[in-house]
């Protein structure tokens, strides 16, 4: 739901105090384009002068998801394409400096490129006797740039899934914090795409009877995974589990119509879990990502699902048809749940199981047969494919892939959007305003909404002696964020959370926050709210104006 804008952050070194903004720069443009950016730094020290050099460096990502300065550039490094000015400067107490930067994509480059802009503080020199140890202090601003062309996308999959006991060697810190009975669940996520993706996941646990007993969030840092990187997502179950057989399912969402899904079984014995259980997920590729049929009552249509075994062991792929539902965050269900307007009962899959040798490609036929008396409208289902590899010495776990099915009956299908009242709240640290609304689709077909979030400050003309201004106020734009469409649609009867994080302005006063939502097949929706920001940090939001569904200019016009 949230588009994050990073604000200034303090840094200290050698007794200095600095503010750097922003910490993260996100750039986007076509191949061959030049993209400017700025970095601001201020010296908050009372009596210390800092001397800086500025340079661009390559980055790499560790398994914890953190960015590190790399020793040499890789295939997605942008450090050689960045120019900065000035390359050196001196910052007196209370002084500030704006660094102008520019990143230029080669015309042949496609995908994501990454670098760090390092602000390196020169070590102090003083009259000291004997051996001296020199500390290098650096402030690193991350640059994430995307050369946008067709085919630019992340390709994330769960490369390894494991269950470990806190009593195992190497996990002493987990045992001290949570106890020796704690279990550590680990999912490694690998990105073989050409641009970074943002991942967040969830673990589900079932007992031997098939009863779901736990849901545990998976997470690591900001959630970004760079091309070619592997990031470990972990969760801890402090209480452990009683002895028995269990099934663990990891579902990682990273945008697009399908999440990464992996399943495995494991055993907890009387003497706790003494060794890691799990393995790496077998890889399969499935095309197309979605299947859409235009139908009439009593008709049937079929399409081919092409499945390729990307691994080095034989894989058996078994499919089943279940309902398709997206939650308010845009994540699809991975278990069969009741759903209005489901096409699962109309959907056919044949054959239901195939075995593929390494590198082999085979097709399944998926089709929808509609009853003669079927009413007009859109119906939805998904094919859930489970890849079970031949068990080898290294160990593999099951991989699941879903394919959404859209069955469209009738030519006059249209979405109908509505927005809930706009909510504006201050973040816990007071540095941001959290803006949110909910889009509801009351129409007969799916749609993909996007949003623009605009913040404006209320101002009045300079006063003139002896005259009173009685006209409308002047609204000055202070921030604007574009929220692109999600990778999954909003189905009829479904909802989607939309919103953004806005840096809280330092200037007190009355602000107008307006959200404009556009979606294919409908006219724009607008919601706004007036917010008063005061010096003492108390935010008082005025009663929101009425919603203006399907009207771009009626809500809250002053």
**What does pLDDT average to over the chain?**
84
Q: Is 72 exposed, middle or buried (0-12, 13-18, 19+ CB in 10 A)?
A: exposed
87-110: per-residue pLDDT in tens? 999 999 989 999 999 999 999 999
Query: For residue 5, what pLDDT is reported?
Result: 33
CATH topology of domain 417-462+471-541: Immunoglobulin-like (2.60.40)
pLDDT at 132 over 60: no
Q: Contact at 8 Å (CB) between 476 and 538? A: no
pLDDT at 548 over 70: no
Each domain of the chain, given as residue ranges in start order, spans: 9-123+135-147, 156-281, 286-382+399-409, 417-462+471-541
pLDDT at 489 over 90: yes
Q: What is the pTM of this model?
A: 0.74
pLDDT at 9 over 60: no
CATH topology of domain 286-382+399-409: Immunoglobulin-like (2.60.40)
**In this structure, what token pair is assigned to residue 263?**
């399943």
Q: Contact at 8 Å (CB) between 318 and 353? A: yes
3-state secondary structure of 178: helix
Query: For residue 278, what pLDDT is reported?
Result: 58
290-347: per-residue pLDDT in tens? 999 999 999 999 999 999 998 888 999 999 999 999 989 888 888 888 898 899 999 9
DSSP class of 172? H
Query: For residue 249, what pLDDT is reported?
Result: 86
Query: For residue 274, what pLDDT is reported?
Result: 44
Share of the chain above pLDDT 90, in %: 46
What CATH architecture applies to the domain 156-281?
Sandwich (2.60)
Average confidence (pLDDT) over 417-433: 88
Query: For residue 17, what pLDDT is reported?
Result: 82
pLDDT at 492 over 80: yes
**pLDDT band, residue 117 (cuts 50/70/90):** very high
More confident residue, 70 or 275: 70
Query: For residue 220, what pLDDT is reported?
Result: 54
Closest listed residue to residue 164, CA positions, set 232, 66, 260: 232
Average confidence (pLDDT) over 239-263: 82
Q: Do 9-123+135-147 and 156-281 have matching folds? A: yes
Q: Please, how many CA atoms are within 13 Å of residue 171, restricted to the half-sphere of its CB?
A: 23
Average confidence (pLDDT) over 432-450: 94
Query: For residue 179, what pLDDT is reported?
Result: 86
**pLDDT band, residue 556 (cuts 50/70/90):** very low
Most confident listed range (25-29, 123-127, 174-178): 25-29
Average confidence (pLDDT) over 184-203: 87
* DSSP calls for 58-109: -EEE-TTS-EEE-SS--TTB-GGGEEEE-SEEEE-TT-EEEEEEEEE--TT-
Closest listed residue to residue 485, CA positions, set 524, 451, 439: 451
CA 418: distance to chain centroid?
A: 25
Q: Which CATH superfamily is domain 9-123+135-147 in?
A: Immunoglobulins (2.60.40.10)
Most confident listed range (11-25, 79-93, 194-208): 79-93
DSSP class of 431? S
Closest listed residue to residue 381, CA positions, set 445, 292, 307, 298: 292
Q: Contact at 8 Å (CB) between 478 and 458? A: no
More confident residue, 7 or 123: 123
Q: Contact at 8 Å (CB) between 478 and 502? A: no
Average confidence (pLDDT) over 54-83: 92
Query: For residue 420, what pLDDT is reported?
Result: 96
More confident residue, 487 or 491: 491
Query: For residue 545, what pLDDT is reported?
Result: 47
pLDDT at 255 over 60: yes
> What is the C-alpha to C-alpha distance for residues 456 and 454, in angstroms, rounded to an integer?
7
361-376: per-residue pLDDT in tens? 999 999 999 999 898 9
Closest listed residue to residue 80, CA positions, set 116, 53, 129: 116
Query: For residue 161, what pLDDT is reported?
Result: 84
Share of the chain above pLDDT 70, in %: 86
466-485: per-residue pLDDT in tens? 677 677 888 999 999 888 88
């Amino acid at each position: 739901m949230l588009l994050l804008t990073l604000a200034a952050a303090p840094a200290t070194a050698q007794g200095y105090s600095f503010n750097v903004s922003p910490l993260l720069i996100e750039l986007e443009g076509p191949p061959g384009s030049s993209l400017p950016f700025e970095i601001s730094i201020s010296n908050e020290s009372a009596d210390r002068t800092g001397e800086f050099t500025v340079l661009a460096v390559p980055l790499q990502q560790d398994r914890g998801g953190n960015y590190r300065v790399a020793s040499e550039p890789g295939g997605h490094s942008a450090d050689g394409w960045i120019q900065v000015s000035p390359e050196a400067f001196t910052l007196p107490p209370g002084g500030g400096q704006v660094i102008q930067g520019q990143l230029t994509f080669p015309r042949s480059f496609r995908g994501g490129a990454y670098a760090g802009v390092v602000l390196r503080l020169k070590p102090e020199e003083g009259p000291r006797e004997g051996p001296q140890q020199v500390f290098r202090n650096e402030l690193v601003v991350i640059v994430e740039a995307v050369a946008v062309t067709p085919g630019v996308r992340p390709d994330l999959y769960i490369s390894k899934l494991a269950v470990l006991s806190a009593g195992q060697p190497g996990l002493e810190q987990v045992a001290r914090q949570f106890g020796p009975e704690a279990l550590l669940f680990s999912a490694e996520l690998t990105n073989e795409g050409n641009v970074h993706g943002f991942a967040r996941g969830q673990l589900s646990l079932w007992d031997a009877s098939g009863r779901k007993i736990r849901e545990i969030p998976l997470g690591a840092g900001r959630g970004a995974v760079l091309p070619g990187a592997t990031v470990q997502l972990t969760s801890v179950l402090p209480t452990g589990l009683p002895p028995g057989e269990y099934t663990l399912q990891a579902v990682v969402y990273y945008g697009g119509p399908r999440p990464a899904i992996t399943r495995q079984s494991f055993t907890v014995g009387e003497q706790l879990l003494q060794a890691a259980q799990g393995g790496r997920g077998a890889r399969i590729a499935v095309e197309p990502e979605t299947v859409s049929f235009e139908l009439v009552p009593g008709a049937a249509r079929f399409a081919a699902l092409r499945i390729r075994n990307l691994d080095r062991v034989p894989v058996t792929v078994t499919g089943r048809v279940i309902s398709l539902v997206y939650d308010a965050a845009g994540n699809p269900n991975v278990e069969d749940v009741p759903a209005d307007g489901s096409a699962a009962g109309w959907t056919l899959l044949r054959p239901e199981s195939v075995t593929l040798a390494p590198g082999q490609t085979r097709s399944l036929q998926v089709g929808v047969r509609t009853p003669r008396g079927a009413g007009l409208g859109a119906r939805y289902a998904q094919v859930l494919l489970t890849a079970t590899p031949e068990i080898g010495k290294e160990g593999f776990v099951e991989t699941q892939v879903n394919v959404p099915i859209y069955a469209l009956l009738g030519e006059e299908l249209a979405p109908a959007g509505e927005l809930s009242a706009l909510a504006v709240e201050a973040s816990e640290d007071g540095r941001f305003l959290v803006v949110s609304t909910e889009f509801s689709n009351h129409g007969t077909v799916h749609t993909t909404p996007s949003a623009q979030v605009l913040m404006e400050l209320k101002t009045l003309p300079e006063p003139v002696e002896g005259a009173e201004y009685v006209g409308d106020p002047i609204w000055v734009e202070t921030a604007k964020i574009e929220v692109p469409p999600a990778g999954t649609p909003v189905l009829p009867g479904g909802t989607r959370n939309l919103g953004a994080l806005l840096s809280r302005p330092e200037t007190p006063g009355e602000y107008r926050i307006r959200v404009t939502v556009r979606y294919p097949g409908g006219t724009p929706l607008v919601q706004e709210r007036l917010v008063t920001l005061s010096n003492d940090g108390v935010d008082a939001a005025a009663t929101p104006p009425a919603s203006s569904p399907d009207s771009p200019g009626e809500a809250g016009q002053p």
